[in-house]
Amino acid sequence: MKNIFDAPFLKEMESATANMYRLGWDERNGGNISYLLNEEDVGEYIYLEHIIRKIPIGFEAPELAGRILIVTGTGKYFKNVKSDPETNLGIIRIGKDGSTAELLWGWDDGGKFTSELPAHLMSHIARLSVNPENRIIMHCHPDYTLAMSQLHEIDEKSFTRDLWGQMTESIVVFPDGVGVLPWMVCGNNEIGVATANKMKDYRLVIWTLHGIYGAGRNMDETFGLIETVEKAAKQYILTYRLEKKNTITDENLAELAKAFNLNYRKDFLDLK
Ligand code: 2HA
Ligand code: ZN
C-alpha cells in the first residue's frame, strides 16, 4: 500500500481548501467539496474492503451506488484541512442500496460528511448525465458573488449577461452561463433537488444570499469557474451605479464567441 498522505487526490483537496480559505471564500465551516475518485486510484492507498463505519445518507442515490468520493466533513473548517486531513476529510463509497455511505478513510474523530451531501450527490448525478467526465462539485461563499446576489434580480439571463459584460474572459470561461436559485434553506433535499435541476443546464449555480456551486471535470476547472465568476462579480460591485464610459456590448460578446468558437447561451444575448 502506498502512503495515502502522498495521494494526488488528497493533495488536491488540501490545496483547494487552503486556497479557498485564503481567498476568503470559506469562513469558519463554510463551503464543501466532493470529488469522485476512480476505484483503481484509491485502491493503491486504502483497503477498499475495509469499511470503518456505515453512515445513512438520508436519501437515495442509486445512480452512484459503488462510486467512491472524497468529501469535506460537516462542521469542519477549510483552514484546518491541510494540517489534519484525516479528521477533516472522509473517503466514502455509496453502498449498493444507494442510501448508505461506507466510510473507508477519514473523519477519525467520529465526524461525517458535509450537511450539503444531498446537493452534492444530486448535482453529481445531474452533471454526469450531461458530461460523464464530471468529477467535482464545489460550494463556497465568495464575497462579491454574495454581494451581487443581494443587488441583482434573480434572473439567469440578466445575471449571466451582467457577469459576461464585466470583463472579456467571462463568456470564454463560462459560455454556458450561471443558474440562479432564490434564497432557500440549505442542507436539505429540497435545495439539493433545485440545485441539481439547474446543474442539468449550468456548471455554476448561484445560491442567492448564500454562495455558489460549481461543477467540473477536475479541481482546476471547477475552481477556475468560481474564481472567474467571483472576479466578474467584483467588477460589478466596484462599478455598481457608476457612470460607465466603456462597456462590452452584446455584439462584442457574439464576436468573442465566434473568435473562441464558444458553444454559448445565445438566448442570453439580444442581438439585432
Ligand atoms: O458546510 O457552507 O452550506 C457549510 C455550508 C453550508
Ligand atoms: Zn454554504
Angle at CA 137, nearest 5°, toward 113 and 94?
45
State in Å: Cα 2 to ligand 1 middle: 32
State in Å: Cα 72 to ligand 2 middle: 12
Which pLDDT score, from 0 to 100, does residue 5 have?
A: 98
Which pLDDT score, from 0 to 100, does residue 229 have?
A: 99
Which pLDDT score, from 0 to 100, does residue 92 have?
A: 98
User: Minimum-distance ligand to the CA of 119?
Assistant: 1
Check whether 98 has a pLDDT greater than 90.
yes
Write the CB contacts of 16 (distance below 8 Å, at least 6 apart in sequence): 33, 138, 219, 223
Which pLDDT score, from 0 to 100, does residue 228 have?
A: 99
Q: Which atom of ligand 1 is nearest to the CA of 115?
A: 1
CB 29 near ligand 1, within 6 Å: yes
Q: pLDDT-based confidence at 86, cuts 50/70/90?
A: very high
Question: CA 70 to CA 25: how far, in whole Å?
Answer: 20
Question: CA 176 to CA 161: how far, in whole Å?
Answer: 11
**What are residue 79's phi and psi, to 5 degrees?**
-65, -20
Q: Which three cell numbers stand for residue 132?
A: 460523464
Alpha helix segments (H runs only) across 110-216: 117-130, 143-151, 156-164, 169-173, 189-199
- Residues 131-166: tens digit of each pLDDT: 999 999 999 999 999 999 999 999 999 999 999 999
Q: pLDDT-based confidence at 272, cuts 50/70/90?
A: confident
* Radius of gyration from C-alpha coordinates of the chain: 19
**Protein residue whose Cα sits closest to atom 4 of ligand 1:** 30
- Residues 173-210: tens digit of each pLDDT: 999 999 999 999 999 999 999 999 999 999 999 999 99
Ligand 1 pocket test, candidate residues 20, 25, 26, 32, most atoms within 8 A of CB: 32
Question: CA 111 to CA 117: how far, in whole Å?
Answer: 14
Q: Which three cell numbers stand for residue 57?
A: 445518507
Q: What is Dmax (Cα atoms) for the chain?
A: 63
Q: What are 73's strand-pairing partners?
A: 113
State in Å: Cα 44 to ligand 1 middle: 31
Q: What are 113's strand-pairing partners?
A: 73
Residue list, CB under 5 A from ion ligand 2: 211
Which pLDDT score, from 0 to 100, does residue 109 have?
A: 98
Mean pLDDT taken over the chain: 98
* Cell 502512503, located at residue: 3
Ligand 1 pocket test, candidate residues 81, 139, 212, most atoms within 8 A of CB: 139
% of the chain surpassing 90 pLDDT = 99
State in Å: Cα 215 to ligand 2 middle: 15
Check whether 99 has a pLDDT greater than 90.
yes
Alpha helix segments (H runs only) across 45-181: 85-88, 117-130, 143-151, 156-164, 169-173
Q: Which atom of ligand 1 is nearest to the CA of 75?
A: 1
State in Å: Cα 138 to ligand 1 middle: 11
Q: Active-site residue numbers?
A: 116
Question: CA 121 to CA 177: how far, in whole Å?
Answer: 22
Of 202, 151, 162, nearest to 180 by C-alpha is: 202
Question: CA 71 to CA 20: how far, in whole Å?
Answer: 15
Which pLDDT score, from 0 to 100, does residue 116 have?
A: 95
Of 90, 72, 81, 64, nearest to 31 by C-alpha is: 72
CB 88 near ligand 1, within 6 Å: no
Question: CA 203 to CA 160: how far, in whole Å?
Answer: 12
CB 184 near ligand 1, within 6 Å: no
- Residues 18-45: tens digit of each pLDDT: 999 999 999 999 999 999 999 999 999 9
Q: pLDDT-based confidence at 259, cuts 50/70/90?
A: very high
